[in-house]
Amino acid sequence: MNSRTISPYIIGTLLLISMFIQMSRGESEECPQTFDVIAVRMCPTSREEYDKAVLRKQCSQLASKRNCSDSIEFKYHCVINSYRNNLFEVCAPEKNIFGYCTEYNEGGNIVQSQLSAPCNSTFPKCAAAYKSWKSYLYQDCYELVATTEITEIPTISDNKEMNSSVDISAILIPILVLVILGIILMIVFGRKKIKDRKQRKKQRKKGQADKEKEKVRSIQQTLP
């Protein structure tokens, strides 16, 4: 049987079995189904890039801090979301995916099959069955997300940086305005002071000249 034309009934049966196993396993554990979810602009395109992302994300170490059982291995995933408008990095247990692209569902906070994106021989191409963390092997699935449609989701640290920058701006802007106003007032009053000084000097000279004229006139009047 061609793996590309696998019967939908077989796929449906495998999906139900896989979902039952995963739900049973999830109910017995007191840890989140996924964690450390971050929106990204691109996903790994090779095993080398995937391995680097694994080392950077450290999903296993993060799982141990969340009281997760050692029997569940959390792996690095990079997948599309259910709305096909974002790519997400996420730590999650591997799942068996049959004939569909893999998605991260924000509402359910789980990694699962993207049921609106069945794989085929044209687009998107992916294996009839594969592990969810191997999504990087099927780049067609990433192409379901248009690059221009990717929206940035701010993290807590982003929000803190944004708030701190807003707080700094709220302090600096009024100070800057006051400094500029102070400089303008200094210039205006400085010019006025210089103008007044020149005017007083001019009036003083005029007064002296008038006195001299008056003195000369008085002398002339006393002459025979």
Residue-wise pLDDT tens for the chain (224 aa)?
444 555 665 665 665 555 555 554 444 445 788 888 999 999 999 999 999 999 999 998 888 887 787 768 899 999 999 999 999 999 999 999 999 999 999 999 999 999 999 999 899 999 999 999 999 999 999 999 964 444 444 444 445 555 555 567 678 888 888 889 889 988 988 888 888 888 888 777 777 777 777 777 777 667 66
Burial of 95 (0-12, 13-18, 19+ CB in 10 A): buried
The answer to whether the predicted template modeling score (pTM) of the entire model surpasses 0.95 is no
CA distance 42 to 215: 97
CB-based contact 76:62 (threshold 8 Å): no
Contact 79, 111 (CB under 8 A): yes
Q: Indicate the SS3 state at residue 110.
A: strand
